[in-house]
Chains A and B, each alone.
Chain A
Amino acid sequence: MKTAVSIIVNDRRCETEVPTTMLLVDFLREVAGSKGTVVGCDTGQCGCCTVHVDGDAVKSCTMLTAQADGASILTIEGLASADGMHPMQRAFHEHHALQCGYCTAGIVMNAVDIVTKHHELDERTIRRLIEGNLCRCTGYSNIVDAILEAAREAKRGA
């Protein structure tokens, strides 16, 4: 069975029919061609597939494509601007907050959401807010440092 959807992915509208059972992450990868979003666990545990749906961080393996009909999706490919990488991406680079990179897109998308929605962030809060994202390489401290740095920068810019 198929469902018609109209979804904006990184400012590009995508109107098509998809199987009703298609997960949003499969739509993003296979239909919209946004392969920066990856799947690490199939059970909503790892957060590798985190994207923004209408401005909220969502694990895209926990949502059907049909549920995203009419929504605007931002993936890691849409985060950078013409001026270069997003401050969160820059902070991850500068703080060595990634090694293999597989969890990175998901954590960066979650981190952008966190910094947007929380004005007072300390280490403990950040650790609690990113516990839905697994990273096997870093031990997380550098990720926390990157987010703290990006949060400071966001505050300065605000």
Chain B
Amino acid sequence: MDAEIARAVGAGSSAPRIEDARLLTGKARYVENLDVSGCLFAAFLRSTHAHACIKSIDTTRAVAAPGVVAVFTGVDLLEAGVGPLPFHEVVQREDGGPMQPPARLALASDRVRFSGEAIALVIAQTRRAALDALEHIQVDYDPLPVVVRARMAHAEDAPLVADGAPRNVVGFMRIGDKAKTDAVFARAAHVTRLSLTNQRLSASPMETRSVIASWDRDRNRLTLFAGNQAPHMAREQIARCLGIPNDDLRIVVGDIGGGFGMKLVPYPEEVALLFAARSLKASIRWKADRTESFLSDTHGRDHDTDAEMAFDREGRILGVRMRVWANMGAYLSFFGITVATGSGNRVVSGVYRIPTLDVEVRAMLTNTAPVGPYRGAGRPEAIYRLERLLDVGAAELGMDPVTLRRINLITPDAIPYLANSGQIYESGNFPRILDQALAVADWAGFDARREAARARGQLYGGGICCHIDTTSGIRPFEQVGIVANALGRIDVFSGTQAMGQGIATVYASMVATRLGIPIDHINIVQGDTDRVPDGVGSYGSRSLFIGGSAVVQATEALVDVLRQRAAAVLASNSGDLIFEAGRFAVADRSIGIFELLARTGGVEAQGRHESKFVFPNGCYVCEAEIDPETGVVTIARFSGVDDVGTVIHPMIVHGQVQGSIAQGIAQALYEEVVYDDEGQLLSASFMDYALPRADVLPRLSVETDETSICPTNPLGAKGAGEAGCLGAPPAVVGAVMDALAKFGVRHLDMPLTPEKIWRAMRTPTPACRAEMRS
């Protein structure tokens, strides 16, 4: 909002990352590297069934196994009063009653609902001994019928996952106007209909979940060392589970080897390990192996949707109807239902004028691992269905997909715009972003490139996506404390959380630039609930525009105090002082910050920022080449423009954009969590879950546009961490479908694997054949 503030904190210059020195030399502070002496080791026994009653658990032989210290089961936790993990109560049941999801206990006691659910915890002297002892636990299961897919779980005869969810619908939400939408559809010139699946993904950070649960003998309380993205929120939730006051639990984070939303919520393993640490008055280490990670981390996405869009004769959108079955897995992870019913629906109508809509979201229980936030969290699902409808609609209407989008975009004169979601798009110029993206992509040269590819015997297509994100998430505030001591060291305390994105560099650089002092005087303190009094955390791309705005407020408060003191020292009015390059000056007299601190002592200042939801947006263009012999897709070009508001640290913003686009391309072409019909996870290693490698990802050409800065925070920033996961899948899928158009292929669900494409080229679906005949 205030260009002066953005300039004062150094917007547009990229300070070198302060995190790199330790990360590049093997000195990272990942939990597994923390030196906590005398640790015991833990291993979890996990359910081999996707759905079963547990008739009995016999741990006798495991307890007696070499090196074993203790074995805990769900009954031990229940008897000690450990409660279920909490969930976010944001919606109701379809009948209007309160949600009644199955209680998610840290260790399942009488029933398991997904394959990989933790049943027992072994604590031993070594990791090997703990793992070996798992073999000696006997579990007598009584298997129950299994349901895996969200849409199938809604069938009248589907097995029920929990009593409190009739037809497996655990929560329900409706937005829009059904009657009005029905009327619009009845008189529409054309209706495009599409059933699609936004497949289940695994966040798969390179560091799996890693925990040390430790009993502090001196203070009789617990410490959890874990890579959690929101330590204060996790403390509150875990303490509630354990039935202890917040102050009796300290959370310490260290470095996080990637989070992507998956490490935002607290996990059953953390509760069980803390319980064990308290029971044994010990410190216990656990790190998930990769298969455990695939089995038990929260997954992302997994929506089945029936989507419809009504058009008039000119291609203007008249209305949208969506029926969404959002797979929650077997239990509600803390933000599982928030992702399905909240964050995505804030961008339910995208960047388009949609006069009326009718959206129903059913949150479905299935016998699969719980779903939670994963980079984008609900918005990729919302944008994907709109953009696919526009691509298919364009084909059906015989219109150019770019033109169809352009005539439906919200125009700049309508901003701020009250969207169908009830949210206000505070800034943005969507037609400008579209035009710029087409220019960056050299869209005018597309036909020539297609001809060249065809001459080589390749199929070639182009796809486009106009995306809009919504950042912040719930609890829309951060507060920051700054303590400057007499020696010139400045500590900045924030409840946001570094997890590889480089936010500590951004904060330190902002404070150093504003104060006009070297960056090495600034120390960013995060990830310790003892040292940081309060805060919310890092998710929803909120660390800069909310957390950074709080840093700005705190820094300004610090400068104000220092200005008063400088005025006293220089015998001047504070209003007459000029503060520049770290010095307060009036006439021929001046004093530097360090001298001022040395003479007048330390200073403390506070800052707080609260923000509404904010709407970064952009447009991506993808050109894809397909080898007709193999069905292999190569991304020939990927270009675009992102409007993330003011770019404070260009290097880090571009790093975020590239990383999130990589994950978006990964969803479009490679990744899928696959369960078989019995609920067994088939994609449980990197042999089976196709994280993209360097030889398949393209070089990107994505720019930022800073003409529509955000008016609701002092930096003008909107958040830059997730848009790639929204914009890339529709652009890539659109390009592939364009390349396959001549085969009558209308839509294929992601991931667009060579096999799927190869088959589609050879066996057109009945619907396609019908279309080709007509």
Please report A residues at the B interface, Cβ cutoff 8 Å: 34-38, 40-43, 45-46, 48, 75-77, 79-80, 85, 89, 92-94, 96, 98-105, 108, 123, 126-128, 130-144
Contact = CB atoms under 8 A, between A and B. Distances in A.
B28 A36 contact: yes
A102 B697 contact: no
Interface in B16-40: 16-17, 19-28, 30, 32-33
Interface centre among A37, A42, A46, A48 (most CB of B within 10 A): A42
B17 A93 contact: yes
A96 B289 CA distance: 28
A144 B687 contact: no
Contacts of A92: 20, 24
Shortest Cβ-Cβ A-B pairs, 6 listed: A36-B26, A100-B500, A101-B23, A102-B257, A139-B662, A45-B686
Contacts of A133: 693-694
Contact of A93 (B24, B27, B499, B655): B24
A136 B685 contact: no
Given A38-B30, A85-B25, A45 B687 contact: yes
A128 B695 contact: yes
B358 to A, nearest CB: 38
B327 interface: no
A103 B24 CA distance: 10
Contacts, number: 157
Contact of B207 (A89, A98, A100, A144): A100
Interface of B: 16-17, 19-28, 30, 32-33, 204-208, 255-258, 260, 289-291, 499-502, 651-652, 654-655, 658-659, 661-663, 685-687, 691, 693-695, 697, 699-700
B258 A131 contact: no
Nearest to B205: A136
Contact of A143 (B16, B256, B694): B694
Contact of A40 (B19, B208, B663, B697): B208
A136 B28 contact: no
Contacts of B290: 40-43, 46
A100 B27 CA distance: 13
A104 B354 CA distance: 46
Contacts of B659: 99, 136-139
Given A127-B695, A141-B658, A76 B25 contact: yes
Given A43-B687, A102-B205, 8 more contacts: A38-B257, A43-B290, A43-B685, A85-B21, A99-B655, A100-B255, A127-B695, A136-B205
Nearest to B498: A100
A92 B22 CA distance: 13
B658 A138 contact: yes
Nearest to A35: B33
12 contacts: A41-B685, A45-B686, A96-B652, A98-B24, A99-B258, A102-B30, A102-B257, A131-B694, A134-B693, A136-B659, A136-B691, A139-B697
Contacts of B654: 96
A133 B290 CA distance: 15
A96 B25 CA distance: 15
B685 A45 contact: yes
Interface centre among B25, B26, B500, B662 (most CB of A within 10 A): B26
B500 A99 contact: yes
Contacts of B662: 138-140
Nearest to B260: A136
B700 A136 contact: no
